[in-house]
Amino acid sequence: MNQSSGSENLSCVEAGCSDAYLVDYLFELNGYLIIKGAVGAEDIAEMNAWADAHWHYMDCAQRGGHASRTDGAWIGRVETHTYSDADGINFQNIIEAGAVFERHIDHPSWIEHVRRWINPHNGLSLHETLLNIRGRDGYIGIHCGGHIPCSYMTFRQANTGEWMVGQINCITALEDIGPGDGPTTLIPGSHKATIPHPKLTGEEGSRTYRSDEAAGIALGMRELYLEAGDVLLFTDTITHGSAARTRDGFRRMLLYRYSPRWIRSRFNYAPSPELLERLTPERRQVVDPIPLRSPPGA
Ligand SMILES: O=C(O)CCC(=O)C(=O)O
Ligand SMILES: [Fe+2]
């Protein structure tokens, strides 16, 4: 067993860990897995260079004065966006931003785990791909949990017990993310919870998807610290979010969400013909899992 020792994370292995049993056990038990050193320094530098080159979009005025949602600016096929303002800027559809982001689609450090956990019966698709930059006081509120009846918040097939993870979030740290940097937080094991987190119940026992309260201070949350190049995989079913950033400066991360091929992508960006042309057949199948059909000549 070559689980990293000395880590404060419950669920952590080195890149290239060949102990598939351990990898599966940790992911099943805790609902997340950190792969240390998953992405090489050159790729991390290239992605950071892209962020640096587009830093002026952090200024709202540069995005046409829109602060929120998907009404931001377009950089080719990449669109600026935010979920709630507090969560910072998302460069959505980042797979269109160059080769390094294409390599990420089926990166050998995690792709076979993701295929296995979603289950080969379900194929694979990308639900959302983004590069996120978040400044001081930014955060994501506590959200999700096993109590939400959402089609992609599955983890096991109830009848057979086989893997059937409806969504796996893959966060790549573009720089070190430690205490005060607004790390991702989650409650280990909460993907199996049937009782909602106390912050996710409403009036008369109703169940809510998301609270506006920063996830970091919620009961049971753990902050997950990453070094640049580490990757955090977690089922979207797990109760999670991020701590508020208490330091100056910005947190940078890349987020790719994988789902079964049957699930539509979140914002339905049409892949550019140039991207489809460039992709290997394996990547193309993930980016365009069910190509549109039209009659000849249409
Ligand atoms: O920003 C974060 O650290 C958490 C992002 C998140 O909620 C997600 O990946 O689903
Ligand atoms: Fe989330």
State pLDDT tens for residues 269-295: 999 999 999 999 999 999 999 999 999
Q: How far is it, in rounded angstroms, from Cα 261 to Cα 118?
A: 10
Q: How far is it, in rounded angstroms, from Cα 146 to Cα 135?
A: 30
Q: Say yes or no: CB of residue 140 within 6 Å of ligand 1.
A: yes
Q: Say yes or no: CB of residue 38 within 6 Å of ligand 1.
A: no
Does the structure show a pLDDT above 90 at 148? no
Packing angle, helices 20-30 and 111-118, rounded to 10: 60
β-bridge mates for residue 81, sequence order: 90
Q: Say yes or no: CB of residue 215 within 6 Å of ligand 1.
A: no
Q: How far is it, in rounded angstroms, from Cα 241 to Cα 211?
A: 10
Distance 38 CA to ligand 2 centre (A): 21
β-bridge mates for residue 241, sequence order: 185
Does the structure show a pLDDT above 80 at 33? yes
Order of strands, sheet of 89-92, starting from the edge strand that comes earlier in the sequence: 12-14, 32-36, 231-235, 168-173, 251-259, 125-134, 89-92, 78-81, 74-75
Distance 237 CA to ligand 1 centre (A): 12
CATH code 3.40.1190.20 for 12-287: no
Amino acid 63: pLDDT: 61
Distance 142 CA to ligand 1 centre (A): 10
Which candidate, 151, 121, 122, 153, places its Cα nearest to that of 31? 153
Rg (CA), the chain: 19
Q: Say yes or no: CB of residue 242 within 6 Å of ligand 1.
A: yes
Q: Say yes or no: CB of residue 240 within 6 Å of ligand 1.
A: yes
Please list, in sequence order, all residues whose beta carbon lies within 8 angstroms of the beta carbon of residue 22, skipping any fewer than 6 positions away: 1, 2, 3, 13
Place of tokens 């699930």: 263
Q: How far is it, in rounded angstroms, from Cα 213 to Cα 150?
A: 21
130 band by pLDDT with thresholds 50, 70 and 90: very high
10 band by pLDDT with thresholds 50, 70 and 90: confident
Comparing 146 with 117, which gets the higher pLDDT?
117
2 band by pLDDT with thresholds 50, 70 and 90: very low
Distance 287 CA to ligand 2 centre (A): 21
Q: What is the largest CA-CA distance in the chain?
A: 62
Distance 81 CA to ligand 1 centre (A): 14
Amino acid 62: pLDDT: 58
Distance 96 CA to ligand 2 centre (A): 22
Please list, in sequence order, all residues whose beta carbon lies within 8 angstroms of the beta carbon of residue 260, skipping any fewer than 6 positions away: 118, 119, 122, 123, 124, 125, 152, 166
Q: What is the pLDDT of residues 51-77, one digit of tens each?
A: 999 999 887 655 654 545 555 789 999
Look at residue 212 and give its three-state secondary structure: strand
Q: Say yes or no: CB of residue 255 within 6 Å of ligand 1.
A: yes
Query: How high does pLDDT run on average in the chain?
Result: 91
7 band by pLDDT with thresholds 50, 70 and 90: very low
Q: Say yes or no: CB of residue 185 within 6 Å of ligand 1.
A: no
Pocket test for ligand 1, best of 81, 92, 142, 184 (most atoms within 8 A of CB): 184
Which candidate, 12, 32, 237, places its Cα nearest to that of 114? 32
Amino acid 281: pLDDT: 98
Amino acid 4: pLDDT: 46
Ligand 1 atom nearest to CA at 183: 3
Q: How far is it, in rounded angstroms, from Cα 58 to Cα 63?
A: 8
What b/e sequence results for 223-257 when a residue is b if at least 16 CB atoms lie within 10 Å of its CB, and e otherwise? bbbbebbbbbbbbbbbbbbbbbbeeeebbbbbbbb
Q: How far is it, in rounded angstroms, from Cα 263 to Cα 186?
A: 24
Distance 183 CA to ligand 1 centre (A): 9
Place of tokens 């892209």: 50
Ligand 1 atom nearest to CA at 182: 3
